[in-house]
Amino acid sequence: MLMGIKNRDSDVGSEFVNLLSYNLKGVRPSGTAYSGVKFDNDGNLYVLRGTNNYGLLTAWLVKGSASSFYISRVIQSGSLNVDAGAGPIIMSTDRLYSIQRIFEGEQNATIDFEISSDVSGAPVLANGQIILTAEILGNRGTD
């Protein structure tokens, strides 16, 4: 389920979407399956599902400058093939987090994200968990 709540940070005059829960699954019959997210410095959240192409999901920042915020992540399970880093890191450039699968079966990663207005990581202004799944169907997809 994709959900979001608009919040306002009066200190920096920004409005952003709080990340509550995203469960993203990229499935392909063969080849390479991808699943990921890109926190773009334009204030949008893009998703990577299936092929190696990003599509717009929602805005993470509705008003204000992305470079006023920092992102942190904690990997709860699995591992990432592309990892912008644990942070806090400034959102002045795109931040990518993704997994990929090249053999039949699934690969998963569960990541907790926090967005703050200070390099210390506090106060936390938005948070959420994103579950990534990349799956290759292989022979199972030919029934």
Going by C-alpha positions, the residue among 99, 69, 100 that lies closest to residue 87 is 69
pTM passes above 0.95: no
The pLDDT of residue 5: 35
- pLDDT at residue 29, rounded to an integer: 93
Q: What's the pLDDT band for 98 if we cut at 50, 70, 90? A: very high
Rounded to whole angstroms, the Cα distance separating 15 from 59 reads 10
Decide if pLDDT at 2 tops 80.
Answer: no
Tens digit of each residue's pLDDT (9 = 90 or more) over 45-78: 999 988 888 999 888 887 788 888 999 999 999 9
Residue 29: cis peptide before it, omega within 30 degrees of 0: no
Per-domain residue ranges of the chain: 4-142
Confidence of residue 95 (pLDDT cuts 50, 70, 90): very high
Confidence of residue 124 (pLDDT cuts 50, 70, 90): confident
Q: What is the DSSP letter of 40?
A: -
Cα-Cα-Cα-Cα torsion 41, 78, 23, 120, nearest 10 degrees, comes to -40
Give dist(CA 133, CA 48) in Å, integer.
10
- Angstrom CA distances, 37 to 24, 77, 84, stand at 9, 16, 11
CB 122 within 8 A of CB 11: no
Q: Give the percent of the chain with pLDDT over 90.
A: 55
Evaluated on CA atoms 102, 24, 112, 66, the torsion sign reads positive
Separation between Cα atoms, residue 31 and residue 101, nearest integer Å: 8
Residue 9 pLDDT exceeds 80: no
